Structure 1
Amino acid sequence: MEVPHHATGTRLARHRLADELAEAVPAALLADLVAVLAELVGNAVRHADPLPGGVVRVAWRLRPTPVGPSVSIRVTDGGAVARPLMRVASADAIDGRGLHIVSGLSSRWGVDRDGLGQSVWAEFDPVTASPTALVAAG
């Protein structure tokens, strides 16, 4: 889906993901997916250029496995001068923790860049899902 390169894009993406996956994944995993998606879209809006048309592209894929669902999320924007990196945030900083949240909740994450922009992705494996997801599932 495409959402506006604006704060409302984050809300639209969160709601759509929650609506589409609510019956397909455990509630705790859904909460982690929504949190990570919000961070990735929010980062795209704050730190990157939009794609043509003033949008950010958001995608997710659900893959059933014998031990539970595997989910991947991808947010594509027009790119930025600096590659997305985890920052060290002081205790009183008001930002700088987003990719730490992404790293903590997902199994892995990364950045793909091409001549048109960049995609930041996160994957959630059923066995290595966040501790909250494992507690709820177990």
Structure 2
Amino acid sequence: MPQHAQGARTARHRLGAELDGTVPAALLADAEMVAAELLGNAVRHAAPLPGGMIRLTWLLRTGPTAHTVQIRVTDGGAAGPPRMRQVGPDATDGRGLLLVAALATDWGVERDGLGQSVWARLVHPLRHTAAVP
């Protein structure tokens, strides 16, 4: 996607459309929020990939006990690694990675020759109903 707000919005909507009806609504909402935060950070703080782009990818795994969605945003990198900030109650920004950390099971940053990827893994347990004898 192009590295601007509209490109980030389009990418988030594609994620939502792809996962809608496939994962529980709560997991979908969390995945969309995490994608929005990671994409917003890439637009605001990082250089683009070649061609002025950022990339959003996701992987859905459904196991016997949980749905897992891994979200990855790749950009050209920034001067420093992404980091959580301490913000006051009146701050108007700076909470993005705090939200990601709160919603995701884990998250991290990987750098390679192309740039950097920030990823987050969200796990939603499947609910099983007990068999009635």
TM-score normalised over the length of structure 1: 0.89
Q: Which has the larger radius of gyration?
A: 2
SS in 2 for 1:54: coil
Gaps of 5+ in 2: 129-133
Segments of 4+ in structure 1 off by > 3 A?
A: none
Partner of 1:93: 91
Q: How does 1:10-89 map to 2 (within 5 A)?
A: 10-89=8-87
State whether residues 9 and 41 of structure 1, in contact with CA within 8 Å, keep that contact through their aligned partners in structure 2: no
Kindly state the Cα deviation for residue 68 of structure 1 after the two structures are TM-superposed: 2.6
Aligned residues: 128
Partners of 2:123 and 2:19 lie apart in 1 by 15
CA RMSD of superposed structures (Å): 1.4
Q: Name the residue aligned to 1:111.
A: 109
Q: Report the residue type matching 2:58 in the other structure.
A: W
Equivalent-residue separation in structure 2 for 1:53 and 1:21 (angstroms): 28
CA shift for structure 1 position 77: 0.1
Identity of aligned residues (%): 59
Consecutive unaligned residues in structure 1, runs of 5 or more: 128-133
